[in-house]
Structure 1
Amino acid sequence: MSKFSIRNWLAKLLLVMTALFAAQSLMAADSPYTLTQQAADKLFGDMKANQAKIKQTPDYLRTLVRQDLMPYVHVNYAGSLVLGKSFSATTAEQRQKFFAAFDKFIEQAYAQALTLYSDQEIQVQKEQLNGDSQATVRVRLIQKNGQPPLNLNFQWRKNSKTGQWQVYDMVAEGVSMVETKKQEWGALLRKEGIDALTARVEKAASVPVTFGK
């Protein structure tokens, strides 16, 4: 083999190895664990930087949730789980209106939950994979004064269309938000239909974020 051929072959090999390394790095960067850590760092960093504004206007937490957390949430999939068997009895327009309301509800619920945060230590544990498209990431909030830690499990799913990992449920101390809302709203959905449920969810989503007295 000539020197030119060897040089050309080595160049191609280096190119392939570089591409493979870049692909592996991208996969690692997009893992549920890494994404959870990334979101947590950004969110709590923004909260610390805006403490005065948050205390004056607690609803500002919704802005932080919208920009730091909601891009990771698979709202439509979570909403379809809440609708359950009733999903097939709805029109595409009805579902879109419900998903839009549910999106705002998740924003409000997460923002309200953040009012309980008081600079606790956050520990993000490595994800537990369930097949190729499901994963669980546990986040532990280390409490002060010797209280036991709070365990939050974030359920992730790889979007079949985009290939991106997204959160579809949060399980706090064994209680699933999706299952809780499915049970809470199920009777209204079966009795009065999705339009009535959408109105209920819109009302819940509009409740201002407040600090406990």
Structure 2
Amino acid sequence: MSKTYKRLLSPIISVFIVTLLFASTAFADAKQDAEEALQNAVNEITTTLNNANLDNVTENSVVVSQLEAEILKIFSMEQFSMRTIGRKWNTFTPEQKTKFKDAFIELLKATYFKHVSKYNGQRLDILGSRTNKSGNKVEVRTSVKYKNEDVPVNYRMLREDGKWMVYDVLVEGVSLVKNYRTQFSEILRKGTPDELIAKLQEKAVQVRKQQATAGKK
């Protein structure tokens, strides 16, 4: 190896090492910031649940509206909607995108908020996190105590408008986004965005009717 080559190589290696060090610091900050954002959201939601009377809670209860607002502060429906649709998201008009997000939120409320009354002090523990190669996405690993079992729940997050937001949730390794994408792709393969939106609206109504019927038994 020539002396000239060594002289050129030395500063290149130095720059490379410095770049790696800065990148490592940036990744550490990204993980810390994402974990902190998630923890703050969990604390806020937990406080609301602990202070609420969850007896006979319904979807129209004040606590449910409060929880919805708190969840949407950390959960990006824009990213979630876009990723569940996939490439065809760009074929949706702005109006269809808005209608889809609204219909999707209604379906999620109808499907999941019925479980609010079952809250009994379950806790979520953050176990650590990892970033992608670019450091612009973070997956926060958590564990939720449910029926004496520790259930692994991972939150995939990215920065949106300067804030770390959740764009996917993995429960025991199963992605919520992929689960819905499979269902929506089948509908969009033969149908239109408007037909998908209509099906989401119909499904939300159906779920509510089933819950109402079950509540009378």
TM-score where L is the length of structure 2: 0.72
Higher relative contact order (CA 8 A, sep 6+): 1
Cα distance change on mapping 1:169 and 1:107 into 2, 3 Å = farther
Which amino acid in 1 is paired with 2:57? Answer: T
Deviation, 1:193, is 1.1
Match in the other structure for 2:153: 152
- Once the two structures are overlaid, the 10-residue window that deviates more, 118-127 or 183-192, is 118-127
Q: Deviations over 1:170-195 (max 9, x none)?
A: 11111111100010121111211111
Matches within 5 A, 1:53-64: 54-59=54-59, 60=61, 62-64=64-66
How far 1:104 sits from its partner (Å)? 3.1
Is the 1:129–1:136 contact (alpha carbons within 8 Å) kept by the matching residues of 2? yes
Aligned CA RMSD, in angstroms, stands at 2.9
The answer on 1:136 being equivalent to 2:136 is no
Identity %: 22
CA displacement at 1:83 relative to structure 2: 1.2
> For residue 186 of structure 1, what is the aligned residue in structure 2?
185
Distance apart, 1:90 and its partner CA: 2.4
> Residues of 2 paired with 1:34 and 1:45: CA distance?
16
Match of 1:56, SS?
Answer: coil
Q: Distance in 2 between matches of 1:117 and 1:83?
A: 31
Please give the residue correspondences for 1:11-160 in structure 2 after superposition, counting only pairs within 5 Å. 31-51=33-53, 54-59=54-59, 60=61, 62-130=64-132, 131-144=134-147, 147-159=148-160
Q: Which residue type is aligned with residue 50 of structure 1?
A: A
- Secondary structure, aligned partner of 1:132: coil
Q: Do the aligned residues in 1 keep the contact of 2:75 with 2:167 (CA within 8 Å)?
A: yes
Match of 1:163 in 2: 162
Contact 1:86–1:190 (Cα < 8 Å) also in 2: no
Conserved in 1, the CA contact under 8 Å of 2:55 and 2:117?
Answer: no
Find the residue that maps to 2:98 and give its secondary structure: helix
What is the CA-CA distance between 1:69 and the residue it aligns to?
A: 1.1
Q: 1:128 to 1:192 in 2, by over 3 A?
A: same
Q: Distance in 1 between matches of 2:104 and 2:40?
A: 24
Structure 2, unaligned stretches of length 5 or more? Answer: 1-28
CA distance in 2, matches of 1:180, 1:116: 24
Residues 142/134 of structure 1: CA separation in 2 closer, same or farther (3 Å cut):
same
Shift of 1:109: 4.3
Superposition TM-score, scaled by structure 1 size = 0.73
* Structure 1 contact 135–157 (Cα < 8 Å) conserved: yes
